[in-house]
Amino acid sequence: MLAGSENRLFERVSGELAVRYSPQGADGEFCSTTRNISGGGIRMPLLKKIKSGTIVDLEIFKYNTDVAFRCIGKVAWVWDAPAGKNEDHVFEAGVKFLNPDLFHIGRLIESLKKTSLLV
- CATH number, residue 73: 2.40.10.220
Whether 3 is covered by a domain: the verdict is no
Give the global pTM.
0.83
DSSP-assigned beta bridge partners for residue 32: 19
37 falls within a domain? yes
Structural domain boundaries enclosing 60:
13-118
CA pair distance 117, 56, nearest whole angstrom: 32
7 lies in some domain: no
- Say how far apart CA 102 and CA 109 lie, in whole Å: 10
| Structural domains counted in the chain | 1
Q: Does residue 67 lie within any of the structural domains?
A: yes
Distances in whole angstroms, Cα of residue 9 to Cα of each of 95, 107, 113: 15, 18, 19
Query: Quick check: helix, strand or coil at residue 37?
Result: strand
- Find the length of the chain: 119
Q: What is the pLDDT of residues 40-92, one digit of tens each?
A: 999 999 988 899 999 999 999 988 888 889 999 999 999 986 655 555 667 99
